Amino acid sequence: MTSAETATGPVQSYTEWDPLEEVIVGIVDGAVFPPWHAALPPVLPPQQHETFRTMAGRPFPPELVAAARRELDEFARILDAEGVRVRRPEEIPQRTEYRTLSWASTGMYAAMPRDVLLVVGDQIIECPTAWRSRYYETLAYRPLLKEYFAGGARWTAAPKPELTDEQFDPNWTDSEELPARLVVTEFEPTFDAADFTRCGRDIIAQRSNVTNDFGIEWLRRQLGDEYRIHVFDFADTHPMHIDATLVPMAPGKLLINPERVPRVPDLFRGWDVIEAPRPVLPDSHPLYFTSKWINMNILMLDEQRVVVEASDEPMIATMKQYGFTPILCDFRNFNSFGGSFHCATLDVRRRGSLVSYF
């Protein structure tokens, strides 16, 4: 392996597994259903389509918001007890309508910093998200971004997309064919940070219903020759975010979704491949945005410690089997909002250097 000199400053993160020192944990306060839009059907569970149509712009059930808030607060307490500095965004008014020249929308939440912000090295990038309801989501993090910039971090914003109708395929229809047909076109660059996973100099990416080739190419040029972006397609007919499909956990250890990754990319030849156990989330539990494979959305605190949902006994057993130390946290109510521990966080600083693992 080759390595560069360790960087200094308030923002520094090259991998998903270097020792975690500072993290942003999202909030669910004020969460509302987004306005109905063509970008939603490709990624929502089919049984939730009617709910989103009828509840558009209205608050999520207050009892669910309160339960998820308690879990987030406990998650933050656990991270603090493990020696990690925890930061939180500010609540912004999600039901306030905003407009561009072409459309109007309300917001959604500030629960998933992993989607809208990408940290690579000492750079923090605001992502050009494809959902109109997420257009101003990064404002909840603006005070923190200013602080990190004042401390020496590089703060970049990708081109703000217009998100006109040309950005979305009007003829998109649901299909089980592979490769998946995507609802986003190549009209402008769009991407969510959660469609990228970092392994030092190598960054793994996927195209999805929010991330297009244009967006991946923008990021490739923005990061420069110091990094290599590898784009893989998986057996996922409704792709959105890579962190419930392929999760590098430590050097040489890779967690995969056995349904979506029938063949491990050659890049990971020689790595230990861990098949995620089937989810045990009950059918009765509401999942508004995601499949049950959200059980893979773990958070590494270092190469051994991993945060796992407290009731997911198969995943806990799998982690122990492969030499990891599970840290348990209740998170089922937060899962309903479309993410788990990785989605709910942004690792601002990990102790490590820029290394090539391949």
Q: Which residues are the active-site residues?
A: 192, 241, 343
- Determine the Cα–Cα distance for residues 336 and 343; give it in Å rounded to an integer: 12
* Cβ atoms 306, 20 nearer than 8 A: no
- Determine the Cα–Cα distance for residues 252 and 273; give it in Å rounded to an integer: 8
- Determine the Cα–Cα distance for residues 267 and 120; give it in Å rounded to an integer: 20
- Determine the Cα–Cα distance for residues 260 and 126; give it in Å rounded to an integer: 28
- Determine the Cα–Cα distance for residues 219 and 234; give it in Å rounded to an integer: 21
Classify residue 78 by burial, with Cβ atoms within 10 Å: 0-12, 13-18, 19+.
middle
The upper half-sphere exposure of residue 130, i.e. CA atoms within 13 Å in the direction of its Cβ, equals 36
Classify residue 168 by burial, with Cβ atoms within 10 Å: 0-12, 13-18, 19+.
buried
Helices (H) then strands (E): counts for the chain = 7, 17
- Determine the Cα–Cα distance for residues 208 and 125; give it in Å rounded to an integer: 19
- Determine the Cα–Cα distance for residues 138 and 193; give it in Å rounded to an integer: 12
Relative to beta strand 305-309, strand 299-300 is antiparallel
